[in-house]
Each structure stands twice: as structure tokens, then as C-alpha cells.
Chains A and B, each alone.
Chain A
Amino acid sequence: MSEKITYTDAFDELQTIVAEIETGEITVDILSTKVRRATKLIGICQKKLSTTEENVNTILKELEEKEKF
């Protein structure tokens, strides 16, 4: 789950895969690849939904430095 992807991109890609699977435009050869990818994207989305990478100390430090000027 270390992949750097925005929520919007992950979500869009997920929607595309679901649409592909839904319309049956998918072959068995790539189905497992797609499902694996979708599972990963779901994981990314859910992680983004439940966590945030922002760090209070980073912001405070940045604010302090910028307020000096």
C-alpha cells in the first residue's frame, strides 16, 4: 500500500475496473490481475478514508519558519 496515488485517481481507476467487470468486457486471463488491482485500490481508498498523513509538528515548524519573514 505504499503506492503514491491520490484518492481521486485511485477511486477513478476503481470505478473503471468495476465498469469493465460489470460489462463483462474482461477476459479470464486478466480478471485476476484486475481483481488484484481493484483490491489494492480499495485498500488505498479505505486507508485514505480512515487516516491522514498530516503531521502537526511539520505544520507548526513550517508556520514558525514562514512567520519569521
Chain B
Amino acid sequence: MTMSEQINDRKVFSLLDVMQSIQKTLAGRYSTAFWVKAEMIRLNHYPHSGHCYPDLVEKKDGKVVAQIRSNLWRQDYRRINALFQKTLKESLKDGIKILFLAKINFDPQYGLSLHMLDIDPAFTLGDLEREKQKTIEQLQSEQLFNKNKSLSLPLLPHRIAVISVETSKGYADFRKVIDQNEYGYGYFYFLFPALLQGDQAVPSLLRALERIRLVQDHFDMVAVIRGGGGDIGLACYNDYDLCKAIASFSLPVITGIGHATNETVAELIAHQNCITPTKMAEWLLQRTHRVALPVRRARQQIVSKSQYIINEKKERFREQIKYFKSVTLNSLSFHANLLARLQSGLGQQTLFLLRQNQQTLHQKEKELDKNSAVFIAKTQTTLHTASQQVKLMDPINVLKRGYSITYAKNKVITSTAQLKKEEDITTVLADGMITSIITNLQKNTSNE
């Protein structure tokens, strides 16, 4: 403090004196560079000059407990950034934790700052990896990790809300495959523009998702399409807020971010991750294929099967006709036969009947003959017996046995009442007659 001057008994320093004094003291105290870890909340890169003026903080329980500006000159920035891109696949950017080599710098005009000489990418890599793991674990603990995967994609996803950049190569690749598909499949896609990498990607993607949500009924799925941007700046896809928004989105989110490094969390939790936009377009065609082929097959099947059924029915119909014909003919001939048989049967039967009757008649005739003879014989016998009897009853025979017949006046006398005393009677005997005179006439009294 040599440059002071005396004003009204007071020792007074100029501002420059003080600043220079501080500068000198600090330069003496912090002569060498040292490693510091801090969070770089803003890189503050000025493209025109190429220099960066990063804002560094340390937080404790979310509150800033230390804060300082720093500077990173153009040459150092270029070297370190290239190293980051190579090691981390990320550029130096806002919001990363860094381990850096610095010297205390005090400028009388610009004040205290840290002058960055080098940044260790391995530290940031580990930190980013930890952030990624933290995002994964948090999504898992909130049951969000498989949420988007569990949504069902429609049978025919063909209305696509695209999140991309109008001019990006990835979007062009996607459109080319979709628009020029040889099968003539129709898709509808609608672009919701967003930044797809780097610092502004997270808020930009979140905004695009929000806009899609407003008109989600028009869409079957969301396609996040990036491409042509190399592998740098994809750490945003490990961001918890973005991943949570994707996981819990009400439409299936398909990613086609196009890079060669490890899958980001957003890709892990997406409904489907296609490696590139071209692959995504092919995947869509494939899905359509899966339902278009059965339709084509159905058409062939219906034609051939219907033809088959009709032919079969025709064939059966023909068979039926044939069968009907043969059955009819059979029936006709059967009945004709039957008739013929009946006819011939009728003749035979008639003859038989005739013959039978004749026979009966003949028999009766014979019987009659026989019976007549018997009857005649019997009658003859009876007649003979009768004649014998008649013979026996001939008065001659009676007379021979001692009987006699008495006549008076040529009348056979059977009662005394016919006679009178002295009357002549003639007695006839078997071999002659006697004439007598009645001398006595006595009537039997014992009987009448």
C-alpha cells in the first residue's frame, strides 16, 4: 500500500491500488494451478470470440453455497471440447459436473475468476453415467420404466406424430422410406418441430410432447426422429424429466435417434427403439405388412374356397341327380317287374283255382257216384228185406202156418157181428176151401 496519499489525516488508496494489491497478494498466495470440482451451470460460450466464461457453483441440499465466474480461452476450449466429444459423446455444455485444473485470477477491472486450464472428461463421464443410472432407478421405483412399453399399439399404426427437425437428414430418410414404399401403404405424419440434441433439447422435446398431447386423438404413435447429428449431445435423452414424460405419455413413443453408442434411457423406456429413422420407417412398413398379408391371403382363400364349395355342391348336385335317376329307374323297373309277376301270377292262380275247383267237382262227382251206388245197394237191400217181409206176410204163407180166412158173401169176416146163424161161410185154407153153415154163434165177452 505504498501508493496511498494523505487527505485530512486519512490514508486513502485509489481503487486500482487496492485491486492491484489484492491481485498481487493472490498471485503470491496461489502461485500454482490446482484441481477443483464444481457444477458448471452455464458454459457461456461466445462463438464470435471463441472464448467461454463458465458460471461455476457448488450446491448443498439444492442451495448454492459457492459461486464464481471462470474463463476458458478459445484454444483450451477447442482442445477440451474435442476430448469431451471423443470420450463422452457430449460437448461441453450447461449443467454438467466437472473436474478442472485452474488458477486463481484476479483482474483489477473484471474481478475474481478462475482460469480454467484443463477439464478431466472421465470425471464428467462418471457423473453422467451416475445421472443416467439415477434416472433409470427413479423411473423404476415409480413404476414408470415399462409404462410406455405396456401400451398397445393399434393393429395398424399409421398416424404418426413426428418429433424432429424439418431439415434433418433423419427425417428425410424416414419420409423417403415411408412415402416411396412399394406396397402403396398410406401413412399420415405430422411434424412437431423440436431440438433433438444439446442443451435445449429437453425443454424443446417436452414442449413438443405437450403439443402432441393436445391433439393426441389424431395419432396412433409418436416418433422421435433424429439423424445426421453424429453421436454428440445425446445426454438429454438420459434426462429424468424427459424420460418421465416419454414413459408416461399416453401414446406409444418410438425412438429413432440414430447413434452407435450405448442406448440412452429414453430409448430403453420407449415403446420401441429403432436404431435409425430408416429402420423405424421399415419397422412401420413391416407392421403394416403383418396385417396386409393376411388380407391378401384372405382374398385368395375366399376366391378359392368359395369356388371349391360351389364346385363341391355342384358335384353333389350332379350326384344327386344321377342317384335320383337311378333310384327312379330302379323303382320303375321294380314296379314293372312286380306287375309282370302279378300278371303271370294271376293267370297261374286262375288256372290253379280252376283246376282246384275242377278237382273238387270231380271228387264230388266221384263221391256222388259212390254214394249213389251205396244208396241204391242199401235201398235194394231194404227193398229185398221189405219184399221178404212182404212175402212173409202173404196170406198163403199165413195160411200154410194153419191160419185161415173166412168169407161170407165174398167179404172177409173179421167179426162175429157180420154173421148170422145159418148163414153160409166159406173158409179158405192154403190148399182149398171149405163151405160151412153156421150152427152156433158165440161172441167173446171177455174182450170187445
Binding site for B on A (CB under 8 A): 7-8, 11, 14-15, 17-18, 21-22, 24, 26, 28, 31, 35, 38-39, 42, 45-46, 48-52, 54, 56, 58-59, 62-63, 66-67
Contact = CB atoms under 8 A, between A and B. Distances in A.
Contacts of A48: 156, 158
Contacts of A67: 211, 214
A31 B298 contact: no
Nearest to A54: B188
A24 B291 contact: no
A54 B349 CA distance: 96
18 contacts: A8-B156, A14-B295, A14-B298, A17-B298, A28-B309, A28-B313, A31-B310, A38-B302, A45-B291, A45-B292, A46-B295, A49-B291, A49-B295, A50-B185, A52-B187, A54-B159, A62-B215, A66-B214
Nearest to B190: A59
A18 B218 contact: no
A63 B92 CA distance: 36
B291 A7 contact: yes
Contacts of B28: none
Closest 3 CB pairs of A and B: A52-B188, A54-B188, A66-B214
Contacts of B214: 62-63, 66-67
Choose among B159, B218, B310 the residue with the greatest number of A CB atoms under 10 Å from its CB: B218
A58 B219 CA distance: 13
Contacts of B187: 52
Contacts, number: 88
Contacts of A59: 190, 215, 218
Contacts of B299: 38, 42
A69 to B, nearest CB: 9
A22 B297 CA distance: 12
A56 B190 contact: yes
A52 B215 CA distance: 16
Interface in B177-214: 184-188, 190, 211, 214
Interface in B294-330: 294-295, 298-299, 301-302, 305-306, 309-310, 313
B62 interface: no
Contact of A42 (B156, B184, B295, B306): B295
A28 B186 CA distance: 36
Interface in B278-295: 288, 291-292, 294-295
B306 A21 contact: yes
B154 interface: yes
Contacts of B417: none
B15 interface: no
A58 B215 CA distance: 10
Contacts of B301: 18, 21-22
Contacts of A52: 158-159, 186-188
B295 A63 contact: no
A21 to B, nearest CB: 4
Given A35-B302, A49-B288, A62-B214, 19 more contacts: A7-B156, A11-B291, A18-B305, A21-B305, A21-B306, A38-B299, A39-B302, A42-B299, A48-B158, A49-B185, A49-B186, A49-B295, A52-B186, A58-B218, A59-B190, A63-B211, A63-B214, A66-B215, A67-B214
Contact of B155 (A8, A31, A50): A8
Given A8-B155, A17-B302, A21-B301, A54 B218 contact: yes
A41 to B, nearest CB: 8
Contacts of A8: 154-156
A26 B309 contact: yes
A38 B184 contact: no
A4 to B, nearest CB: 16
Given A21-B305, A31-B310, A62-B214, A15 B298 contact: yes
A25 B229 CA distance: 59
B420 to A, nearest CB: 136
Contacts of B310: 28, 31
B179 to A, nearest CB: 13
A18 B309 contact: no
Contacts of A17: 298, 302
A35 B306 contact: yes
Interface hub of A8, A14, A38, A48 (most chain B Cβ within 10 A): A48
B313 to A, nearest CB: 5
A11 B295 contact: yes
Contacts of B298: 14-15, 17-18, 38, 42
Contact of A31 (B185, B188, B218, B306): B306
